[in-house]
Amino acid sequence: MALGAGAGLNTGFGAGSRCKIITVRGHCAPVATARPIYGARATWVRRERYHVIMGAGLQVALSVSVPTLAVLIGILVNNSRLNDLRAQMTDLRAHMDQRLTAVDQRIGDLKELFDEKLKRVEDVMDARLTRIEQELKIR
């Protein structure tokens, strides 16, 4: 097969160049070596050497498994973060319960103290009213 415009090949450097990378309709083709054949008409003959890095099955397996593995790792990381958040919220809830219990205890103590003081004021007021009534002989 001769390289050139009629062959449907684009070497990137024009027809007849000694380009090692040949593209077919904009896609990469196998690496080829080109040798001139000397004679009445000088043409370049392409002889392909395939450099197979990986097969099609391996490409499909990697193109499916690598993103899937990345997504699974992301899910596990987010799950562990959610578990950590849940543990922190449980600790916070327990701490708040302790503080609210302490506040309730303090309010109960203040209520008892207020009742004692109010009883004392009531006794003092009653004693004064009794003394005033006795002096004025109201009863």
Q: How far apart are CA 33 and CA 12, in angstroms?
A: 15
What is the per-residue pLDDT across 10-31, written as a single tens digit (0 to 9) for each?
444 445 544 445 444 544 444 4
Provide DSSP, 97-131: HHHHHHHHHHHHHHHHHHHHHHHHHHHHHHHHHHH
What is the per-residue pLDDT across 80-105, written as a single tens digit (0 to 9) for each?
999 999 999 999 999 999 999 999 99
Q: Which candidate, 71, 89, 67, places its Cα nearest to that of 79?
A: 71
Q: Which candidate, 56, 34, 53, places its Cα nearest to that of 45?
A: 34
Q: State mean pLDDT over 110-135.
A: 94
DSSP state of 91: H
Q: How many CB atoms lie within 10 A of CB 11?
A: 20
Q: How far apart are CA 87 and CA 81, in angstroms?
A: 10
Question: Do strands 43-48 and 32-37 pair parallel, antiparallel, or not at all (unpaired)?
Answer: antiparallel
Q: How far apart are CA 133 and CA 78, in angstroms?
A: 80
Whole-prediction pTM value? 0.42
Q: How far apart are CA 11 and CA 28, in angstroms?
A: 10
End-to-end CA distance of the chain: 138
* Residue ranges of domains in the chain: 5-48
